[in-house]
Amino acid sequence: MSEPLFLFDLLLALAVVAIAAAALLVRDAFAMIVLFVVFGLLSALAWVRLAAPDVALAEAAIGTGLTGALLLKTLHHLRARGMAGWEPGAAAPRPVPRAVASLNAGLTLAVVAGLGVAILGSPLRVTGLEIAVAEAMPLSGVDNPVTAVLLNFRAYDTLMEVVVLLAAIIVVWQVERGADAAPAPSLGPIWQGFARLTLPAAAIVGVYLLWAGAEAPGGAFQGGAMLAAIGLMLLLTGLYRPHPDHRATARLLFVLGTVAFAAVALLVAGAGRASFEYPQGHAKTLILLIEGLVTISIAVTLTALFHGREPAALKGELRHDP
Partner 1 sequence: MTGPDWLTLSIMLPLFGAVAAFILPRAAAGLGLATVAATTLCVLMMADRVAAFGAVTVPLGGWGAPLGIELRADGLSVAMLALTGMVGLLVSVSAIDAFAGDRTARQRHYFWPLWLLLLSGLNGVYLGTDLFNLYVMIEIIALAAVGLTVLGGTREALRAGLDYVYASILGALLFLLGVGLIYLQLGRLDFAGVIAAPPSAAMTAALAVMFVGLALKTALFPLHVWLPAAHANAAAPASALLSGLVVKGALYIVLRLAGYMPALTEDILTLIGLMGAGAVIWGGIQALRADRLKLLVAWSTVAQIGLIFVALARAGERGLSDSWKAAALLILAHGIAKAAMFLAAGRIKDEVGHDRIRDLDRSPIRPTLAQVTFALAAINLIGLPPSLGFIGKWQLMEGAMMAGYWHWVAITMIGTLFSVAYFSRVLAGFLRFDRVRGGPLAEHHGWSGADAAPLILAGAAVLLGLAAGPIIAFIDLGAGGAMP
Among 10, 160, 201, 204, binds partner 1 (CB under 8 A): 160
Among 1, 96, 99, 118, binds partner 1 (CB under 8 A): 118
Tell the smallest beta-carbon distance from residue 71 to partner 1 (Å).
15
Query: CA angle, corner 99, sides to 98 and 103, nearest 5?
Result: 115
Alpha-carbon separation of residue 137 from 149, 195, 229 (angstroms): 9, 41, 32
163 makes contact with partner 1 (CB under 8 A): yes
Tell the smallest beta-carbon distance from residue 247 to partner 1 (Å).
9
113 makes contact with partner 1 (CB under 8 A): no
Identity of the residue, 148 or 236, whose beta carbon is nearer to partner 1 in the bound complex: 148
161 makes contact with partner 1 (CB under 8 A): yes
138 makes contact with partner 1 (CB under 8 A): no
Identity of the residue, 230 or 264, whose beta carbon is nearer to partner 1 in the bound complex: 264
Segments of 104-229 assigned E as strands: none
CA 191 remoteness from chain centre: 24
Identity of the residue, 29 or 148, whose beta carbon is nearer to partner 1 in the bound complex: 148
Among residues 205, 196, 199, 194, the alpha carbon closest in space to that of 295 is found at 205
Angstrom distance (rounded) from CA 317 to CA 322:
11
110 makes contact with partner 1 (CB under 8 A): no
Phi then psi for residue 273, to 5 deg, are -95, 145
Question: How many CB atoms are located within 10 Å of the residue 322 CB?
Answer: 4
CA 156 remoteness from chain centre: 19
Residues 214-273 that bind partner 1 (CB under 8 A): 248, 251-252, 254-255, 258-259, 262, 265-266, 269, 273
Among 101, 175, 201, 204, binds partner 1 (CB under 8 A): 175
- What burial class does residue 259 get, using C-beta atoms within 10 Å of its C-beta: 0-12 exposed, 13-18 middle, 19+ buried? middle
Q: Site residues (CB under 8 A) for partner 1? A: 114-115, 117-119, 121-125, 127-129, 132-133, 136, 152-157, 160-161, 163-164, 166-168, 170-171, 173-175, 177-178, 248, 251-252, 254-255, 258-259, 262, 265-266, 269, 273-278
